[in-house]
Structure formats: C-alpha cells, structure tokens
Structure 1
Amino acid sequence: MIRKIDPDNRRVLKFPAVRPCESISPVILLNSLITLSNEITTFRTNFFPSQKKFSREVIRQMGILQIFFEEIRDHQSYFTKSLILCLSELHFALQKMQFLLQDCTREGSRLYILMKSQFVANQFRVLIGSVGIALDILQFNSLEICSEVKELVELLSQQAQKSKLEVGLTDQCAMERVILILNQFENEFEPEKGLIKRVLDYLGIHSWGDCNNEVKFLEEEMIKVEEEEREIPLISSLLGLMSYCRGVIFDTLDEQIINQSEAKLAGEMLNCLNPEDFRCPISLELMMDPVTISTGQTYDRASIEKWLNSGHLLCPKTGEKLESTELVPNSALKKIIQQFCSDNGISILKSARKSKELSRTVVSPSPASRVSMRFLAQFFAGRLHYGTDEQKNKAAYEIRLLTKSNIFNRSILIEVGNVAPLLDLLTSTHPNTQENAIAALLKLSKHSKGQKSIIQEGGLMLIISVLRRGMKVESRQIAAATIFYLSAVEKYRRLIGSTREAIPGLVDLIKDGTMCGKKNAIAAIFGLLLYHKNHERALEAGIIPTLVDLVTSIERSDLLADSLAILACLAEKIDGCIAILQTSTLPLIINFLKSSISKAGKEYCVSILSSLCTNGGPEVIAALAKEQAIMPSLYGLVTEGSAHASKKARMLINMLHKFNESSSSNLAAASKVHKERFVHAM
C-alpha cells in the first residue's frame, strides 16, 4: 500500500503522494496507516537542524493517530463510508508528512531547508490542517473505541484546524544571518568567519564532512532543477557559500570520507574535450548528432541539413566550396558529448534544456556565488604558495572537487594563479599530494586557459615525469588523461610528440596500467596521432605490438574498440600498414570482423582492412579473398553502418570482387593455353 520512494532520488520538497484507490480493502488501508504513523513517530530520534517546532507538533499528532488507528483495528467491527473516506484522506496527508520530515532531516539539506523555512512552515500548516479536516468528517459517537482515545482525537481535530504555525524566531534569525552573508559576498566583501561559524553551529555543521555533504546535496539539486528557474540563483548562492566554508572554515579533511571517495575520483576516465567545442558553429547549441562535411568541419546534423537544403554549397565556417554534400557521422565526438552530458547531469533527451544546463557551469547563475568562488580561489592560491604540506594537499584536493564538472570554477581558479603552484606539487614526495595535484591539473586542462597556462608554466615535462614515474598508479593514469586534453590543441600535439618520453610513457601505461590507465593512455595516443609526425614516433615506441597483445587479452568492448581505432588510424599510412602486417595482425582483424564485437569495433576493422588492401598490395587482397565468411559482415555494414563505414565496406567489397574476377580470368586464360598446347602436340 505504501509506495517506497528513495528520498535521495526525489526532488527535495516535492511530495509524490497518491490517494488510495476506491476498491482498496479497509483492513489493508488501516494497516498501511498504522505503518505510516509508526514510521513518522520514529523521526523523534532524528536531529532537526531547523523546523523543530513544526516537527515536534507533527510527531506528537502522529503518536495520537497511531493509537487511534490501532484502536479501530482492534475494536471497530464495521467501516462506515465516512470512516473509509477519513482514512483515505489521512493516508494521503500522512504520505506527504513523511516526505516533508524526510526532507527536514535529509543529509546535506540543512542550509537549503533553513532558507526554505517559510515554504516548509506553509507545508506543515496545510498538512496539519488537512488532518483536522479529515477527522472532522468522522462521527465519533459511532466509533467502537474507548472514550479516552475519542477525546484525544477530537481534541487533535480541533487543534489541527486552528493551527497557526509560523517560522520560529531562531530559524528567522539564522536565515537573516545567511542573507547578510550572501549580500556581503554579492557586494564583494568577504564575511567574517565568526558570522559564518554561528550559522554553521546552528545547523550542526561541525566538520569538513558535514560541509561536504551540504555541497554534494546542493550540486545534485542544481542538476535536478528544471522548470523552476527562480530556484537556480538561490541554490547557486548557497552552493557558493558552502564551497567557501568547506575550503576556508574547516582546516582538516575528513579522512573517512576521503577514503570512501578516493577510488571513485582516482578511477575517473576521460570524458570530454573543451565543452565549447561541443557547440554547433551554426546554432551555437550543444551537438546531439555531430556530422563532418567535406571541408573537415563538424556541425549538428539538423543545422547543416537545414543549411544545405536552403541551397548553400559553401562551408558555413570556412567559406570553402563543398566537394560533396555527404554528411559523415562523427561517432567519436558523439560519445564524448554523451559522456560529458552524463557527467554533468545534462539530459540528452531534452534538447531544449541542455544549453541552459551547460551554461550554468560556464557562468555562475548568482553574483554571490561568483564572488565567493573568487575569494575561495585566491585563498587556495595563497595556501598552495605558503601553506604547510597538509594545507597544500587540502587545497589541491579542494580544487580537484570544485573543478570536477564546473567550467566557471575552472576559469576562476586558473585566472587567480593556481596552476603554477599545483605544478610545483607534482614533485612532492607525498603520494596523495602528488595525486591530488595532478588530478586538479587534469580538471583545469579541460579549459583552454588551463591548457595554455600549463604549457607556459613549463608543466609538460612535470606531467610526463608523473606519467613515467608517478608514486601511485592513479597518478600515472591521471597524467595520461591530462596529456589527452593538452593534445586537443594542435601546436601542443606537436610539442608533446617531440618530447622524448611522452609517447613511450603512454605505451608503457597501456602495457602495465590498470584498465582505467590503459583507456586513458589509448585516448591520449589517439589525440596525438592527429599530428602526422607522431605516427612515426608511436610506431618507434612499439604501439602496434602493444595493442595487438592488448586486444587478444581483453574482454571490454570499449577498450577493444578504442584500440582498433588507433590501428585504423595508423593503417592509413604505409609505414603503419607494414608494421601491422609484420605482427601477423590480419587474421586477428578478420576474426574480429566476423565475431560479435560492437558495431564501432566492426567499423574500425573494415577501415583497417580497407587501408591494408590499399597500401599492402595484392597479397593482402588475396589473403582476404580466401575469407568468404566476412562478406555478410561487409554487406551488413553497407546497409546499417555509418556513412564512413558503409563507404569503406563498399570499397572493400569492390576490391574483392575485382580480385576474384581477375583470378577467374587468369585461370581461364591459363586453361586455354594449356588446351592449345595439348591440341598442337596431337
């Protein structure tokens, strides 16, 4: 009867209660009410940071109602229509009561609930009133329960209807202090720590862990806010305040919480390039279906199709004449955009909201949060320069958290000069400090300003040093991811590739790293291969035998597809083809094409085989022609693959048909010569 809803997945202060159906058995309804009232009374043991007066009143009333429900169950022999109607209305109200009490005691919601005190008070008043109205329809004289319980419930009904609960004086004072603090931030004045601590003490926020819970809750709420645009500035301001408190007010990290989240943070894989690169040059909206045209530029399919259908035959961005109007899906970029949306809570199904949600991380929605973030960034810069080892580690960890998915935070932290001292920490002899520093730099390298600052500050060699000799395997794999983001800039690709230890270090990580490390290293190498001279350096580092060993031993489809993508890229050049053929990889690629690997993996296999046939000559085509079992896969990609894969598959099919026709003609000619010689001999 009672719907079990995870409070962490429910939008706070939203109460999805449902009315009992008319056909529900009165006994089931009554038992459900007893369970509900019992669960509500257990909240008396919970800590209520605010709304204490309301919660005590509700819990007291639920205790009386629980006795009332149990009396009906034990003594009432007949359920009148008015009694069933009363119980149904009470069930609906008690569900909402339970949701409201869950929110008032929800982990991390203390500051938000305080600032919504007026709304919460109204909800308590309405729900208590609805209990009184539901009880008012009862004819108490007809109930077969003891007189003492009747009197209690009648009194409860009268009190509930007269209830005039208002925001408590102490809650009101605490709210006013928070508003004063936010106003000071908005006016670019840093509040006194004593004033902030008074608010934190009132709410029972006594440690870094408590404050971190508040930040996590507000971040989640920021993602969940949809149509309620008016809520965004408030949540943003509170998030800025609590982030500031976590960084400035609390000096000591909560080691237990750090240990719980360490593996998750260290296991982060690559997810996106510069988010501004995800916008279509025509619509300036996030690309949901990126396609590439003949000039090499990428657009969202809907935008470029509209452009072409209007009769334009020039590239909108470069002005070049289009050699073809074919649109080639950019599946790699599409996967990156989808991962970015997932990481940042952006719904890729609701395109009308996606740009708004992206922009919230680009520019903070509230002036108070912008200023508090700037004060916080300056505080970290000072700690990184002049703090103790422990303070430097904490500052690096805080930056790592703040820049996880917020572009605005990255920008501010870079502007005030946090990159240089973070680079200095890469030489730290403390493994955790080194890891936190390289992880913070990874997040900052997703921003174009961060990439520029890292290179200008001479950080490339330090990052490569961590890649090769990092004290923790997590630090090495994060360094590989950082190199990937730096390789998004063409001139940095050249610089990284020309640095002696960079590509060999990535190849070594593919050999002996974790799955996360292998994936990051593969992605970084793929980014570096966009510069043609890095092909030779990758071949010299032994990338092909390393990848061949990897694809023969792994089961993860994403890692297999990524490895095949690099082989496809290398196979486009003759040196790469020779190296691939020397490792006897051809049978392996053929088997992958015939097997049930992912669609992307099959498409990369076709691309590799097409390049090997083009660059490897007749011997490769002859070897491939013997494998008739690959033809169904090739025809399948012609009809169901991407435009690029379909084109490669058709090309490969034509090569094989021509080879077979040529072989048949040569065989027929040889047979004719042999016959003529036989006749002549006769």
Structure 2
Amino acid sequence: MGREELHITVPSLFRCPISMEVMKSPVSLSTGVTYDRSNIQHWLESGHDTCPATMQVLPSKHLVPNLTLHRLIHLWLHHHHHSSSPRSPSSSSPRTSYQQVRILIDRIEDENSEADRLDHLTKIVDFARASEENRRFLADFDHFVEGIIAVLSKSAEMEVLEPVITVLDLIMYQNGVKERVFSSIFRSNYQNCFSKICLVLRNGSLISKIESARILESLSLDAESKRRIAEKEELLSLLLHLITSENDPDLQDSVLSCLITVAVTRTVKARLVRLGVVRVLSERLLNPNTKPSTAEKSMNLLSMVSTCAEGRCAISEEKCAAAVVERLMKAGTEDAVMVLWGMCCVHGDRKVMDVVVKSNGMTKILLVMQSECEGHVRRMCAELVKALRVGYKSGEAAFGLGRYETKTTHIMPC
C-alpha cells in the first residue's frame, strides 16, 4: 500500500510540456498549447519567439489563462490529497471548512505569488458557490470585503481578477456588502478598481463580463455614484461595444440594466447618443432573434435618451421609429408609446410621424388603447391618434388615414 502511494499517475494533460511537472498556473499560447506560466515566461523572456512544443513562430506572445484546466488540476490535487491520507471524523465538518477559509482570507491580500493567490481565490469561490450560508459567512467576516477589493486594486493578472469579480458578485447582495464595496472604492485609494473592472469587461470570460456589469449596477447606489461610474473613461463605450459584439442574451441584459441604471443625467444620455446608442438599440429591436427581456430593456433605454435633444435628433435621423412601431405590441409597450408620444405629440417630428403612419403604427396604437394598459398610456395613445390625424388631415388619402377611419370606428379613443 505504501509503495502504491509513492507512484501516483499524473494525467499528461496536467503536466507542463517544458518541465513535465504538474502546472500551478496553466496559460495558453496562440498555438493552443498550454504551459505553466513561470516556465513559458522564462522561455519567452530568454528571446524565443516560438512555441516550444510545435516550434511555430508566434504571431503574439499574449498568454491566456486556462481557467478550466486550472480548475481540473485543483480538483485532481484536492481529490489526491484526501484519498491518499486517512480522514478524521471532523475533517468535513463546517467548522473545519470555515477555519480553512479563515486561513485563506488571511493569506490572500499578503500573498506575493499570484499563482498561490489564485489557488486561494479558487477555493474561496468554490466555498461561496456551495451555499447561501457560506456566502453570509464571507460577507460577515471582518475585513473580507475590504481585502478582496484591495486584491482587485493591486492585481494585474486576468486569472486573479476574474475570481475576485466572481466572489464579489456572489456576495454583493448579502446584508451591507454593497455599502462596504461602495465605501472601499469611492471613499478610499482604490478607485483604480474601475479600470480593473473595465479590463475584465474587455478581456475576461463571458461569465466574468456578466458579473462585472452586475457589480457596476450594484454600485450605483445614488445619483452621485451613478454619475461617477458613467464618467469613467471608456466605460460607456465599452458597455455599448459589448452589446454589439457579444450575442449572449444574458450579457446583453446585464449590460443594458447597467446602462439604464447609470443613464440618469442629461450629460450621460447625450454622451450615450454620441457613442451611437440609438443605432445599437434600433438593431436590437429590429432583430427578430432578440429575446423579449432584451427588447424591453432596449426600449426602456431608448425612452430615456429620447428625453434629451440629442436623443430625439438621433431617433429622427436614424429612423428608429420603425423599430419602435415594430415592437409596439411585443415588448416594452409603455416605453414605446412614450417614445412615439414624445416625438410626435410634444415635439411634432414630421419624419417620425411619416414612419409611424407608413409602418401601420396607427392600427397598433389603437389596439394598445383597447388592451389592458395603464390610464396614462391610453391617454398618450389617444393624443398620438389625434396628432397623426391632424398632422396629415390634408393628405390622409396618401397616408391611408381615411382607411383607418372607416375600419376602426369600433375602437373608441379614451
């Protein structure tokens, strides 16, 4: 038995091709081959520009953390450690697990090795995911939140930043955590945390991008914090880029929720318009594959930017009124009516009125009036019908308003 324990078969996938030892921090080159970070960095820093395993010339020396392989190695080592030594009756008790986590928390901030810090963070993420009780334990632990923010501020490694983001997302809605994270970032020397969150939004995994957007939304506790978040360099353009470049509906929903939360001032709305938000939202609304929740949030954000002059100009010029009419009966009905009402009734935009009539918008508006909508929505619909009829009274034959008059007399505006 003792001899068997001395000969452990290590899966070849877990060995670094350079050192042939189990990898501590697996990273992949552009060739797809994975190495331990310290070994491949030494190879590249020695002047080589090729992949050691394939000898291909590298178009880029960028190292991508292989988090999946890191997790598999961690699980394998954890299983080997426990299967090769007898367990005491209390080895799996909550008290022991909590004690281990206490030790990990104490080590994270002071750890000099990024590989060791990543190992500690991976274990804490697993602990947090296990149960609501574990998440409460982390949230209530003295200085844990502040310590994890310090790691976020100090680290430049994506493989460390991502588990930090995951931990924050997991515990953010525990009692008092949002306020503590808010205080640590806005009222301390850790405001560079926003640049690290932007880094994850730019280069992180899909789930890390979703978690980052949720964290930004959670930090928008008041008007001042919303303004300060929206004013961060490149943040708005980065969020808009994610909506257009990523097709994942969960990511789009998270990003849209974040933008809706921070777009509360005229300055932010105008800046979003300059960055092309009307075009982006119109594309989402016109895409038949856009899921209802994404369409609703797109319509909500569109109604928000329509309250500023820049937004109304973009809606008129880019003809997104057709997209609004298209979604009028499907998603975000109240916001859609508000956009059309503002453009046609309040500001008398003839371009938008043209599009509404040509897109069969009158029929849809009349149908909305007959649905179970709120009273103020009905009133806006009635005013829209009146504005469209009055606006085109002299040319109603050309726009088909006479046809609406005869076919919809049973629908009485309220």
Shift of 1:437: 0.8
Shift of 1:473: 3.7
Pairwise mapping of residues 642-681 of structure 1 onto structure 2 (< 5 A)?
642-643=373-374, 646-661=375-390, 663-664=392-393
State the match for 2:88 in structure 1. Answer: 198
State the match for 1:416 in structure 2. Answer: 143
State the match for 2:295 in structure 1. Answer: 560
- Equivalent residue in structure 1 for 2:96, among 245, 250, 261: 245
Q: Is the 8 A contact 1:603 1:641 kept in 2?
A: no
- State the alpha-carbon separation in 2 of the partners of residues 531 and 613 from structure 1: 23
Q: Is the 8 A contact 2:230 2:236 kept in 1?
A: yes
Pairwise mapping of residues 209-288 of structure 1 onto structure 2 (< 5 A)?
242=94, 244-246=95-97, 248-249=99-100
Shift of 1:619: 0.6
Shift in CA distance, 621/579, structure 1 to aligned 2, threshold 3 Å: closer
Pairwise mapping of residues 601-616 of structure 1 onto structure 2 (< 5 A)?
601-616=332-347
Shift in CA distance, 666/518, structure 1 to aligned 2, threshold 3 Å: closer
State the match for 1:472 in structure 2. Answer: 205
Secondary structure at 2:327 match in 1: helix
Shift of 1:636: 4.2
Query: Aligned letter for 1:433?
Result: V
1:383 aligns with 2:107: yes
1:533 aligns with 2:271: no
1:491 aligns with 2:224: yes
- Equivalent residue in structure 2 for 1:455, among 158, 167, 186: 186
1:546 aligns with 2:280: yes
1:443-495, Cα deviation, whole Å (9 max, x unpaired): 44442222222333325433443245334343333222211111233211111
1:438 aligns with 2:165: yes
Shift of 1:610: 1.4
Shift of 1:591: 1.9
Q: Is the 8 A contact 1:613 1:620 kept in 2?
A: no
- State the alpha-carbon separation in 1 of the partners of residues 162 and 309 from structure 2: 40
Q: Is the 8 A contact 2:217 2:261 kept in 1?
A: yes
Q: Is the 8 A contact 2:138 2:171 kept in 1?
A: yes
- State the alpha-carbon separation in 2 of the partners of residues 628 and 432 from structure 1: 50
Pairwise mapping of residues 141-152 of structure 1 onto structure 2 (< 5 A)?
none
- Equivalent residue in structure 2 for 1:574, among 309, 320, 327: 309
Query: Aligned letter for 1:567?
Result: L
Shift of 1:528: 0.6
Shift of 1:383: 1.9
Q: Is the 8 A contact 1:423 1:437 kept in 2?
A: no
Shift in CA distance, 656/408, structure 1 to aligned 2, threshold 3 Å: same
Shift in CA distance, 622/532, structure 1 to aligned 2, threshold 3 Å: closer
Shift of 1:389: 3.6
- State the alpha-carbon separation in 2 of the partners of residues 430 and 481 from structure 1: 21
State the match for 2:326 in structure 1. Answer: 591
1:38-62, Cα deviation, whole Å (9 max, x unpaired): xxxxxxxxxxxxxxxxxxxxxxxxx
Shift of 1:656: 2.4
- State the alpha-carbon separation in 1 of the partners of residues 209 and 156 from structure 2: 15
1:483-520, Cα deviation, whole Å (9 max, x unpaired): 11112332111111121211111111112133332221
Shift in CA distance, 625/485, structure 1 to aligned 2, threshold 3 Å: closer
Secondary structure at 1:626 match in 2: helix
Shift in CA distance, 546/626, structure 1 to aligned 2, threshold 3 Å: closer
Q: Is the 8 A contact 1:493 1:528 kept in 2?
A: yes
How many residues in Structure 1 have an aligned counterpart in Structure 2?
299
1:580-635, Cα deviation, whole Å (9 max, x unpaired): 222111112112225xx24xx22222122112224542514642563584345434
Shift in CA distance, 652/624, structure 1 to aligned 2, threshold 3 Å: farther
- State the alpha-carbon separation in 2 of the partners of residues 648 and 431 from structure 1: 47
State the match for 2:407 in structure 1. Answer: none
Query: Aligned letter for 1:199?
Result: P
- State the alpha-carbon separation in 2 of the partners of residues 392 and 452 from structure 1: 24
State the match for 2:235 in structure 1. Answer: 502
- State the alpha-carbon separation in 2 of the partners of residues 583 and 609 from structure 1: 14
Shift of 1:198: 2.6
Query: Aligned letter for 2:184?
Result: S
1:361-407, Cα deviation, whole Å (9 max, x unpaired): xxxxxxxxxxxxxxx4x434312123454442244345445656567
Secondary structure at 1:198 match in 2: coil
Q: Is the 8 A contact 1:578 1:616 kept in 2?
A: no
TM-score (norm 2): 0.62
- State the alpha-carbon separation in 2 of the partners of residues 417 and 386 from structure 1: 13
Q: Is the 8 A contact 1:438 1:463 kept in 2?
A: no
- State the alpha-carbon separation in 2 of the partners of residues 664 and 548 from structure 1: 29
Q: Is the 8 A contact 2:338 2:380 kept in 1?
A: no
Could you tell me which runs of 5 or more consecutive residues in structure 1 were left unpaired when the two chains were aligned.
Answer: 1-196, 206-240, 250-375, 668-682
1:312-352, Cα deviation, whole Å (9 max, x unpaired): xxxxxxxxxxxxxxxxxxxxxxxxxxxxxxxxxxxxxxxxx
- State the alpha-carbon separation in 2 of the partners of residues 663 and 542 from structure 1: 31
Secondary structure at 1:386 match in 2: coil
User: Identity of paired residues, percent?
Assistant: 13
Q: Is the 8 A contact 1:423 1:462 kept in 2?
A: no
State the match for 2:121 in structure 1. Answer: 396
- State the alpha-carbon separation in 2 of the partners of residues 662 and 566 from structure 1: 28
Q: After superposing the two structures, state which structure 1 stretch, 496-505 or 430-439, moved more.
A: 430-439
- Equivalent residue in structure 1 for 2:348, among 607, 614, 617: 617
Q: Is the 8 A contact 1:612 1:620 kept in 2?
A: no
